[in-house]
Structures are given as structure tokens and as C-alpha cells.
Amino acid sequence: MRISSIITAHAALSLQLLASCTPTGPNSNQSIVTKELTTSDGQTYVYDFTTAKNSSKPTLLLLHGYPASRHDWEQQITALAASGFGVIAPDLLGFGDSSKPTDLEAYNLKTLSDHLAQILDKEGLRDVVGVGHDWGANVLSRAVAWHPERFAKLVFVTVPYQPAGQFFDVDAANKGSLETVGYQRYAYWYFFNSWDAAELMGRYLESFFHLAFHTNASAWGVDFTDLGSARTWLNANTTTELPSWLSTDYKTKWLHQYSQPNALETSLNYYKALMRGIHAADESVLTDEDRTLRVPVLAVGAAKDLISDPEGQKIATEQWASAGFEQRVVDAGHWIAVEKGEELSRILIEFAGSG
């Protein structure tokens, strides 16, 4: 932890509730505005927002993954807004245009859950349909544990529900996947947890982009997730063509976002905070009762995602879903919101709009 960030945190805590919400300018789409909120503990969130044009339709809270940002949801934001739904799509703490505190304690998922509740308060929303992809699904899993009354339905995209207070054993997951699929699915976590990961990603930023958005989803095991693969890829400064489903504009925006001061370091803090048990003490009070999901749950699996297979997603999620569970499987890799944007939008519209 850095001394400057300790001082900042303490100064922020002593402030009165400082929730401001200023539109930072119209988006290219008329009804979608980009807004800003400063939380009671002094963090700034930037989010794309549109109010539900049909007041009997819910608002969806879209939480992006790593390494990504709220821009991943552009196709869904446009489609949902056009169908009368409301949308809130924030850059999570440490990402995009939101605050980037460097201390790990700032990434306690209880704190992030409280931040999301403050965004809903600011927009006058009692509850929303929560949608989380990748790390966003992990944040959503915690948000529903701490603020169950704020969620009418839940959608976990590509990855399963991750019950708060349950130890995620990276070593066991790697050992298991080595036996079942022949590569270590989460060995890249050890690289992400290492002291020089952000520096190496920054030095070979374009190479890191192409590693994350690989042209060949089936090669992710060997090129990215397996032990030593990510470091080897970066040290060779490997670059490739863009995948057919990604635009040059997406890459340009991404390179800009991850060139911002501390962006690589702070987005990695999600992994580091989980591996080092930053939320463990807070979550230790939670019981299986608290972890049980009491609203309808949809899992959207991606058939070609090597990090999380649809079958595993179903098994891990369904057992906690006490008020209904369904799964849709899309023929896509990990970045389903971009790769199969229309299909995901249709699925969300149907699920959010149903009884």
C-alpha cells in the first residue's frame, strides 16, 4: 500500500456524503448519456445511462470484465435502450474512466457492492436486472449478497455465479483442469499476481491486447492461460491480426484506456485482492442462506470460452438458484458481448422483459 493512498482514503472517509451526478456530455446516441458519480468514500464512477423509455420495463445494470470496460456493452446498451429498457453501464473501479486507487484494500468487493448501490440510489432505482461478465459477474455475485433487495433478476455471462465467502482455490482449479482439459485454466492468475505484470503489459501493450482478444479462441489455453504462457507471449511482443469480430475503433479505444496512468496496475488489483483475501474477513459472516439466490437467474454460456465452459457454469450456478434457473449457450468465445452482440442483446431483452 502506498502512503499517499492511505492519506487519500482517510481524507475521503472524513468527507460528508459527496454524491454528485453530472452528465459529462451527450453520447452519440441521443438518449444515452455518460454520467459521473462520486461515492461517499470519494471514488468517481463514470457510467453510460439511459432511463427506461417504457416505465413498465426494468433497468439493466451491466458490469464488464477484465481487461475491458463499459464500451464492451455498446451493442447491448443501444439495443436495450431501443427496446424501452433502462441501462446503467459503469466502468468498474480501477477501469476506464473511473477512479484508479492503487491500494488493494480499495478493491474489497463489499466496498464495490456499496458503490453500485449508491449509483442505483442516485438514479432513483429500487432494483435492477444485474448482468455481469467475467469479473463483472464476480462483482455482481458479491453485490447480490450484500444488497439482495436491489436485484430483481440476475444474469451471469460466460462465467458462473461466485458465492461470496467461499474460497476460490486457484491451485486446485488448475490441477483439476490440467487433468480434465489438458491445460491449466487459471495459471495466468499467478502471472497477474506477480510484481512486474503491469509493467510488462505496459511495455508490450499492443501484444497484451492481442493476447486478450485472441484471433483463435481455441488457442487461449496454450497461448494465455497455461503456466508461463502469457509472460512468454508478451516477452516475444507477439501481435496478430484483429479477430474478425473486433473493429479497429475498439482496439484504439482499448489502447487509449489502458495507457491511462495506473490503469494496468489497478485493473489487476481484482485478481490480487481476491488471491490475498482482501474481502475474506467481511465475507466470513455470510452463510449459505446469504449466498442463496432468491430471484430468477439466467446463465449465458459461451461454447468456445476456454476459461469457463458452459457445463461448469451450469453446475456451479444452478445449485444456488432457488427461484428459477435457465441457461442459454451461444457459439462464441469469451468476448461474447462484442463477438455475438446481437444474439446476447436478444437474450437479455427476452429474459429481462419476461414475467
Residues that bind ligand NAG (CB under 6 A): 27-29, 32, 48, 54, 56-57, 74, 77-78, 84, 203-204, 206, 216, 218-219, 222, 237, 239, 353
- CB 124 to ligand NAG: min, Å: 19
Q: What are phi and psi of 278, to 5 degrees?
A: -60, -35
- CB 84 to ligand NAG: min, Å: 6
Helical axes 205-212 vs 248-257, angle rounded to 10°: 120
- Nearest CA among 254, 250, 344 for reference residue 60: 344
For ligand NAG, give the closer residue by CB, 134 or 223: 223
CA atoms of 207 and 258, how far apart (whole Å) = 12
- CB 50 to ligand NAG: min, Å: 9
H or E, element range at 345:
helix 341-353
Helical axes 109-122 vs 135-146, angle rounded to 10°: 80
- CB 6 to ligand NAG: min, Å: 34
- Nearest CA among 274, 100, 93 for reference residue 189: 274
For ligand NAG, give the closer residue by CB, 72 or 103: 72
Would you call 44 helix, strand, or coil by DSSP? strand
For ligand NAG, give the closer residue by CB, 14 or 56: 56
Contact 278, 105 (CB under 8 A): yes
- CB 354 to ligand NAG: min, Å: 9
Measured CA to CA in angstroms, residue 260 lies from 5, 44, 102 at distances of: 18, 15, 13
For ligand NAG, give the closer residue by CB, 48 or 91: 48
For ligand NAG, give the closer residue by CB, 74 or 91: 74
For ligand NAG, give the closer residue by CB, 59 or 78: 78
- CB 112 to ligand NAG: min, Å: 23
